[in-house]
Amino acid sequence: MAGIYIHIPFCRKACHYCNFHFSTQTQYIEPFIAALLQELAIQKDYLKTPIETIYFGGGTPSLLTQAHLESIMEQISKYYHLAATIECTLEANPDDIDEAKVNAWKSIGINRLSIGIQSFQANSLAWMNRAHSVAQSHNAIQIAQQAGIMNLSVDLIYGTPHLSDEELIADLTIIKNYGIPHVSCYALTVEEKTVLHKMIQQKKIENIDTEHQSTHFNIIVEHLQAQGMEHYEISNFAIPGHRSKHNSNYWKGIPYLGVGPSAHSFNTHTRQWNMANNQLYIQSLNKNIVPFEIETLPIATQYNEYMMISLRCMEGFSTQTILDRFGTDFLNHSLLIASNFETTGQLIKTATGFTLTKEAKFFADGIASDFFWVD
C-alpha cells in the first residue's frame, strides 16, 4: 500500500510560529491547481502499489473550493490504483468550516478532518496570530460531528510562555467532553525566519522555557491517557482504532508521493522534494517538468531515519527489523547503545526490541540521535 500527500501552499494570514511553505497570495490558487493536476499526471508511475491514504495538508487546504477538491480527487482516481478503502484527510481551519462545506467534503470522499484548533484560549490564539476565534473552534467541531465525520483530529500547541497549566487542562477537558478520538500535540518551537523568532530576538515577547514545556507534555500525556487514548507517537494520541493511517504509514517506512511546492516523496531507497516556490513550481509544470531534487539514501541514513522514527512511536524499534534491513553490525551497534539507556531507565525491553520509558519520551529525538551511525 502507499499514500499521496497534497501540499496546498496558501493561507489567509501568517501564524507567528509557522515555518511551513505557504503564501498569503491566494489569487494564484487557480494556476496552482492546474499545475498540481499536471504533476499528478506526470508522477502516475511513481507508486507501484495501491493508494490507501490521501492527505490534504498545507498551508490551509480548507481554502479550496469544492470544485478544486473534486478535480484533484478525479485526477487521482484517473491515474492511480486506489485501494477498496481509503482514508482521506483534510486539514481545516475552524474559520473555514460550515455545514455546507463539510457536506461537500463528505460527498467528495473526505472522511477524516484534522482541525487546527491550537488552543481554546483566546489569549493564546491572539498570541499565535491565528485567524479563528474560540467560538469558531467549538462551532467547527460541532458541525463536523453533526455531519457524521467521527474520524476527527484536533491540533494543540503547548508550551507557549503565557499558557498556564490550568488553561492547558481546560483545553484537554474540552477535548474529552467532545469525545474527539485523535489529538496531535506539538510543543511550540522557535524556527528561524519566522515572526516569532524575530520578536523574541527583539525582546518583544518572552522566549520559550523547556521546563515549562516538559511540564505541559507530562500534563498532556496524563490527561489523554486517562481518556483512554494511546500515546502512539510522541506528538499523537488516539482512541484505539483511530490512529492516523497516513502518518502511521510514514513512520512505518511505507512509500508515499508528495505533490505541490515543497512536498516530499519517498520510495524506500530515494527521497525527493519539490522546490518551495509557488511561481517557479507553476512555471515548471506548465512546461511538463516536475521541479524536484532527489537523493539516494545510503544504508546508514536509512538506519538513522528508522531509529529516529521508531523511537518516537509506541512500539519502539525492532531488533529483527534492524538485522533484516541493515545487518549484524547495525544490530550490535543498536544493542550497545540500548544497554546504556536501559541502565539509565530511559529504554525498556519489549518482546521485539526496545521502547522509550514514559519519562524519556519528551527527550525522544535526543536519545535517537545517540543511536545514529556515523561513517
Question: For the segment 37-85, what is each residue's pLDDT rounded down to a tens digit?
Answer: 999 999 999 999 999 999 999 999 999 999 999 999 999 999 999 999 9
Q: pLDDT tens, 206-244?
A: 677 889 989 999 999 999 999 999 999 999 999 999 999
Q: What is the overall mean pLDDT for the chain?
A: 94
Which pLDDT score is estimated for 20? 66
Which pLDDT score is estimated for 204? 65
Which pLDDT score is estimated for 18? 67
Average pLDDT over residues 107-136: 94
Question: pLDDT higher for 224 or 25?
Answer: 224
Which pLDDT score is estimated for 301? 96
Q: Looking at the structure, give the CATH architecture of the domain made up of residues 2-251.
A: Alpha-Beta Barrel (3.20)
Backbone phi, psi, residue 340, to 5°: -65, -45
By the 10 Å C-beta count (0-12 exposed, 13-18 middle, 19+ buried), 102 is classed as: buried
Please check whether residue 325 is in contact with residue 302, taking contact to mean a CB–CB distance below 8 angstroms.
yes
Residue 120 confidence (pLDDT) above 80: yes
Average pLDDT over residues 105-133: 93
Q: pLDDT tens, 334-375?
A: 999 999 999 999 999 999 999 999 999 989 999 999 999 997
Residue 288 confidence (pLDDT) above 80: yes
Residue 190 confidence (pLDDT) above 80: no
Please check whether residue 34 is in contact with residue 75, taking contact to mean a CB–CB distance below 8 angstroms.
no
Per-residue HEC secondary structure of the chain comes to CEEEEEEECECCCCCCCCCCCCECCHHHHHHHHHHHHHHHHHCCCCCCCCEEEEEEEECCHHHCCHHHHHHHHHHHHHHCCEEEEEEEEEEECHHHCCHHHHHHHHHHCCCEEEEEEECCCHHHHHHHCCCCCHHHHHHHHHHHHHCCCCCEEEEEEECCCCCCHHHHHHHHHHHHHHCCCEEEEEECCCCCCCHHHHHHHCCCCCCCCHHHHHHHHHHHHHHHHHCCCEEEECCEEECCCCCCHHHHHHHCCCCEEEECCCCEEECCCEEEEECCCHHHHHHHHHCCCCCEEEEECCHHHHHHHHHHHHHHECCCEEHHHHHHHHCHHHHHHHHHHHHHHHHCCCEEECCCEEEECHHHHHHHHHHHHHCCCCC
Residue found by looking up cell 502512539 in the block:
232
Residue 199 confidence (pLDDT) above 90: no
Which pLDDT score is estimated for 16? 60
Residue 99's pLDDT band, with cuts at 50, 70 and 90, is very high
CA distance 199 to 214: 23
Residue 299 confidence (pLDDT) above 90: yes
Residue 254's pLDDT band, with cuts at 50, 70 and 90, is very high
Which pLDDT score is estimated for 129? 84
Of all residues in the chain, what percent carry a pLDDT higher than 70? 95
By the 10 Å C-beta count (0-12 exposed, 13-18 middle, 19+ buried), 108 is classed as: middle
- Which of these ranges, 137-146, 183-192, 249-258, 325-334, has the smallest mean pLDDT? 183-192
- CATH fit for domain 299-370, picks 3.30.70.1560, 3.20.20.100, 3.40.50.1000, 1.10.10.920: 1.10.10.920
Which pLDDT score is estimated for 367? 97
List where CATH 1.10.10.920 sits in the chain: 299-370
CA distance 121 to 128: 11
Of 138, 118, 137, the residue nearest 128 (C-alpha): 118
Distance of CA 113 to the CA centre of its chain: 13
Q: pLDDT tens, 132-161?
A: 999 999 999 999 999 999 999 999 999 888
Average pLDDT over residues 116-134: 91
Average pLDDT over residues 194-200: 64
List where CATH 3.20.20.70 sits in the chain: 2-251
User: In the structure grid, which three cell numbers stand for residue 58, read together?
Assistant: 498545507
Per-residue HEC secondary structure of 267-332 comes to CCCEEEEECCCHHHHHHHHHCCCCCEEEEECCHHHHHHHHHHHHHHECCCEEHHHHHHHHCHHHHH
Of all residues in the chain, what percent carry a pLDDT higher than 90? 84
For the whole model, what pTM was predicted? 0.93
